[in-house]
Amino acid sequence: MSRLNLRRLFGAPVLFALLCCAAAFPASADDYTKTRYPVVLVHGLFGFDAIGGVYDYWFGIPQALRDGGATVYVAQVSAANSNEMRGEQLIAQLETLKALHGYTKFNLVGHSQGGPTARYVAAVRPDLIASMTSIGSPHAGSKVADTVGAVLPDGSPLRPLVASFVDAFAALIGTLSGGQSPQDSLAALKALDSAGSARFNARYPQGKPASACGSGAATVGGVRYYSFGGVSNSTNWLDLSDPAMIAGGLLFGGEANDGLVGRCSSHWGQVIRDDYEWNHLDEVNQIAGLRGVFSANPTSVYRAHLNRLKNAGL
């Protein structure tokens, strides 16, 4: 219907009001995830930003958050290295974004080792960080890492040999995703086992739970700390990663886990939820969005969390 016909139908005053409202509130507007500060997603061990610039580690999540109004960046740090090394790489990227765009702070969201990586940054550069959220992160270490360390102890002739193959694999991931960061799988292993995690937590305790399976301080040094995680192993028979998650889950001796990280180990700061029906890869919507039929949609959970940050003024 033409504007002339609308004018005849509604009259000039009503038409003017309709046009003004349409301009002020476009039908496609969505600011549900529009946080005050940009969001930076930090991948875990053997992670990447996007393979070949096409396949995302955070499958479908960045775009879902941007569709809600968020400014989202995906960090590119070493696929395998210590929390501190990865954290320094992340700080350099945040400083670059700050210089280019004038941002004052960032909301960090880290999966798996991305959680401790983000914690390091929040601890040593709180001036840059508004909030730190971890998903399925082994804050108290992973029994899988403990087992690998026991099978390949210090002094074992196989340890450096296996490490060289793993470093080569991590380097390949970096190359495919356009990164040149150094790889050190043995440093990553020491960062993710129980002993290494305990040492890291002693140096950077901000947000540490008061009890083994409790919550920690929600705000430390002006930085908000959040965490959530999953407790399933096999979630979709079409998902080729499920057998590995099932095998990893067997090492936890009955403790609820996501295949790589125990439920209580994922706790840090304010625990939003620790029992999503996700395995470790479901937590970032992998592989290709396959998950349990009745499980929560990861993209919806991330959207809800950014809305939480938005409502907190972050």
What are the residue numbers of the active site? 112, 258, 280
CA 175 → CA 62, 171, 289, distances in Å?
A: 21, 6, 24
**CA nearest neighbour of 55 among 176, 163, 152, 158:** 176
Distances (CA, A) of 28 to 23, 66, 67, 71, 271: 11, 13, 10, 17, 33
Instruction: Return the bridge partners of 257, or none.
Output: 262
List the one residue out of 131, 130, 70, 122 whose CA is nearest residue 91: 122
